[in-house]
Amino acid sequence: MENNRKVVRIALYVSLALAVYLVETFIPVPVPIPGFKWGFSNFVVLMSLMALDTRGVLWVVVLKVLLGSFLTGKFLSPVFFISFFGNVSGALAMIAVSKTSCFGYIGISVIGAFASNLAQIGICGVWLLRSAYIWYFFPYIAVMGTVSSVLNALVAKGGEQWFQTYQRT
């Protein structure tokens, strides 16, 4: 019975992350940074950290990227690989940091965004562009990633508070 609950929780987090990811594709990005996305679906990953074990969180991330890339027509494209490695790196960093209990939502989210940005720039520099010049974009991407990760943390904290209130009633 507990295994069924875990699968349902994972499915709910994946569904919510996927819905936010798809809505996000329609939101224009106000900065002229090539390839920049807000990453708002990561607030769901942050929330799943508090409710699932490591394997469950990784399932949420992998399924979000796989299904999102299928639905947007980007499966196995360069964007898919950048997204996949960035999301997995960010999730692993958030999982590791959340185990220490030294950071709150904002700290965990910012560290996850930083790891994701490093992985994405690394993939672009080594595999796609094969150029070190891509690292000139990193400060801009890191600043925007920090802004979006703080927003994600605030939304995740609000979602957790709503969920706790909802459970009591």
| Whole-structure pTM value | 0.84
User: pLDDT tens digits for 22-62?
Assistant: 888 888 777 676 667 778 888 889 888 888 899 999 999 99
pLDDT tens-digit readout, 120-135: 898 888 877 777 777 8
Q: Domains in the chain, start-ordered, CATH in brackets?
A: 2-30+39-168 (1.10.1760.20)
Query: ∠ CA 169-103-12 to the nearest 5 degrees?
Result: 40
Q: Is 154 exposed, middle or buried (0-12, 13-18, 19+ CB in 10 A)?
A: middle
Task: Give residue 60's identity as a one-letter amino acid code.
Answer: V
- Residue 31 near residue 148, CB atoms below 8 Å: no
Task: Mean pLDDT check: name the lowest of 79-83, 119-123, 136-140.
Answer: 136-140
Predicted local confidence at residue 166, as pLDDT = 66
Residue bearing tokens 């987090």 = 13
